[in-house]
Amino acid sequence: MPVPTLRLGLNLGYWVGGNDASSLPLASLAEDLGYSAVWVSEAHGSDAVTLLSWIAARTSRIDVGSAVLQIPARSPAMTAMTAATLDTLSHGRFRLGLGVSGPQVSEGWHGVRFASPLGRTREYVDLVRQALGRKPLAYEGRHFTLPLPDGPGKALTLTIQPPRERIPVYLAALGPKNLELAGETADGWLPVFFAPAHAARQLAPLKAGLAKSGRTLAGFDIAPGVPLVTGADWRACARRVRGYAALYLGGMGGPTDNHYTQLAERMGFGPAARTVQKLFLAGDYPGAMAAVPLEFLDATSLLGPRERIAERMTAFAEAGATTLNVMPVGPGLPGPDRAASALRIAAEAAERAGLLTTAPVTHGPRDRPDAQGDTRIHDHA
């Protein structure tokens, strides 16, 4: 059986105005440590594109990725223009993560109906690929028609040439049908609450989608976002993840349309997830946090001392993850020093477990003619 390998990434999540002194410099540290990519998110606060531009301007080797750009926030052509521009300015370091967001943000913030997210995503990716391929943007779909009929519009072509022929596209997918779509149309998958013990059920539709496109898992990047909390007692570390888990299980959707709660149900945590959701929607946030099962937190996070984190990383790699995008928080140290320490510990754990690979991500940073070949994690112990 082949020995599993991993790359490490850093997920900075959502940027809160004013915390650039504590969170954004972590991207430079991740680059120094040999991490393969740094990702940022967006909801209804900071946008991902501005932050990625900021990070790309202050780094030179590490990839920058959106986790994710919201599909309802931008036209496919605008996303293609943005991706081409970021890839050009970063010298081929951009990874385009896309997602439909949720009904509250899509309809309440962007004014875009959340109906048919699967069909809209498929057409959206088609159009982004077409535009980035510098083909005239002519399309007749159920959700998008370009140019608009009976008007002055014409099929236009992207006027800039990105440094790569194919910018890698990742999808944030949760349900089986979306996972199949990710396998069929994308270069990578950005899972949330990826758990090694439950990964096989998620990988089945992903493999089916890959088979439709004549591919296998080989070269496809499975890159979960994984909370990272370092410390001597993993149970104590888990307390710091409760707020994050409760927010997603309880607040990212209504009583019948929270896809994260539905995912937890498929993982066998149904009753507990519904309790978390009920408490969260009632405004009992401490109760919702306390109701998140410890087993769920452990299954979907990296918790504890270096040795235990190394063991858990091995489990993630054996379950199919190819990149771990860690979200670092560590007890006992103030602010950025705490997160920086966690980043270093994760790097040491992965290296000492013998998991790290120098193989490139599909269409990733080592495809660039000016890329540097040394992707080893440097030991800062």
pLDDT tens-digit map of 204-223: 999 999 999 999 999 999 99
pLDDT over 70 at 67, yes or no? yes
Each residue's pLDDT tens digit, 123-166: 999 999 999 999 999 999 999 999 999 999 999 999 999 999 99
Residue 95 bridge partners (DSSP): 65
Query: Who contacts 288 (Cβ-Cβ below 8 Å, separation ≥6)?
Result: 246, 249, 250, 276, 277, 279, 280
Altogether, the residues listed in the chain come to a count of 381
C-alpha distances (whole Å) from 288 to each of 114, 224, 272, 316 are 26, 24, 10, 27
Task: Tell me how crowded residue 377 is: count the other CB atoms within 10 A of its CB.
Answer: 20
Q: Is residue 328 part of a domain?
A: yes
pTM of the predicted model, to two decimals?
0.92
Q: What is the b/e burial string over 320-354, where b = at least 16 CB atoms within 10 angstroms of the residue's CB? A: bbbbbbbbbbbeeeeebebbbbbbbbbbbbbbbbe
* CA proximity to 362, closest of 180, 173, 220, 183: 220
Same domain as 326, residue 226 = yes
Q: Is residue 298 part of a domain?
A: yes
Same domain as 335, residue 279 = no
Q: Is residue 108 part of a domain?
A: yes
Report helix, strand or coil for 63. Answer: strand
Task: Tell me how crowded residue 111 is: count the other CB atoms within 10 A of its CB.
Answer: 8
Q: What is the b/e burial string over 22-37, where b = at least 16 CB atoms within 10 angstroms of the residue's CB? A: bbbebbebbbbbbbbb
Same domain as 247, residue 159 = no
Q: Is residue 255 part of a domain?
A: yes
Q: What is the DSSP letter of 3?
A: P
Q: What is the b/e burial string over 158-178, where b = at least 16 CB atoms within 10 angstroms of the residue's CB? A: beeebbbeebbbbbbbbbbeb
pLDDT of residue 20: 59
Each residue's pLDDT tens digit, 29-66: 999 999 999 999 999 999 999 999 999 999 999 999 99
C-alpha distances (whole Å) from 103 to each of 47, 77, 307, 342, 346 are 18, 22, 40, 34, 35
* Owning domain of residue 175: 7-231+305-367
Q: What is the DSSP letter of 333?
A: S
Helix/strand/coil percentages in the chain, nearest 5:
45, 15, 40
Domain boundary among 302, 321, 340: 302
Q: Is residue 250 part of a domain?
A: yes
Same domain as 152, residue 120 = yes
Average pLDDT of span 355-367: 59
Q: Is residue 372 part of a domain?
A: no
Domain boundary among 302, 332, 358: 302
Same domain as 255, residue 191 = no
Domain boundary among 302, 321, 343: 302
pLDDT of residue 15: 81
Same domain as 153, residue 125 = yes
Same domain as 344, residue 313 = yes
Q: Is residue 329 part of a domain?
A: yes
The total number of structural domains in the chain stands at: 2
pLDDT of residue 1: 59
Same domain as 100, residue 88 = yes
Q: Is residue 105 part of a domain?
A: yes
Average pLDDT of span 256-277: 95
